[in-house]
Structure 1
Amino acid sequence: MDLATKSDTEILSVADPIMDNLMDASTAVDYDRHIRDFTDRLKGRLSKEQLEWICQDYQNAKGYFAGREFVAAFRRPDSVAVVWKQRFSKQPGEFVAEMVLVQQNGRYLVDHVMVF
């Protein structure tokens, strides 16, 4: 995977727009937009109903996504894991946002993503 040989800045130039879309789409509870950069494996693990429940749950408890700060990129032979420090609008404190990117058919796709 060529992304694993890139600098943090180059990795973030790919990862940030994808994570921005994921967060914007989950704020809007827009399933189709949320999964547009998912691998087929990950698409099979998240139904529209599950996403709706997840979004309602975190929005009620924590509010909406606020600032995000890059922490590290972990390079692996077949993927890159990117970790950010994440804030929410209603819940004080720092959370972890992480995303695993893989390359398939010339595209960078999300194979795992979580905010906790």
Structure 2
Amino acid sequence: MDLCQKSDTEILSVANPIMDNLMDASTAIDHERHIRDFTDRLKALLPKERLEWICRDYQNTKGFFTTRECVAVFRRPDSVAVVWKQGFTRQPGEFVAEMVLVQQEGRYLVDHVMVF
């Protein structure tokens, strides 16, 4: 079944473990694990040095990731975007975590991800 045709619950059962890995890997600044579910396009945009800089920057300013709550799932013809409300340990307030998932050769892959 195409990702776009799945229920929110089914999409989140795919998206949450991928986002958990992304957040854990960025906390550990582990580039190889961080990009394991990326499309080739996204891998090309995030070299190891860039990820290291991004991780050190958010860890110094915002701290580490805390709770994450799904806000919405958006379906597109060829992808699904998931948006969460995200917390951090050092910076108060609510942030946005978002991820775009695509289906390629039977795998669900991240084609965009950001926390802001």
Q: TM-score, normalised on structure 2?
A: 0.99
Shift of 1:87: 0.2
- Structure 1: runs of 5+ lacking an equivalent: none
Q: Which amino acid aligns with 1:51?
A: L
Q: Which amino acid aligns with 1:115?
A: V
Q: Which amino acid aligns with 2:107?
A: R
Partner of 1:40: 40
Partners of 2:105 and 2:69 in 1: CA distance: 29
- Structure 2: runs of 5+ lacking an equivalent: none
Shift of 1:18: 0.1
Q: Which amino acid aligns with 1:62?
A: K
Shift of 1:82: 0.2
Runs of 4+ off more than 4 Å: none
The DSSP-based 3-state class of the residue aligned with 1:44 is helix
User: What number of residue pairs does the alignment pair up?
Assistant: 116
Partner of 2:108: 108
Partners of 1:54 and 1:6 in 2: CA distance: 33
* Residues 1:84 and 2:73 are matched in the alignment: no
Partners of 1:59 and 1:105 in 2: CA distance: 35
Partner of 1:66: 66
Shift of 1:26: 0.0
Partner of 1:55: 55
Partner of 1:99: 99
Q: Which amino acid aligns with 2:61?
A: A
CA-based RMSD of the aligned residues comes to 0.7
Shift of 1:13: 0.2
Shift of 1:4: 0.6
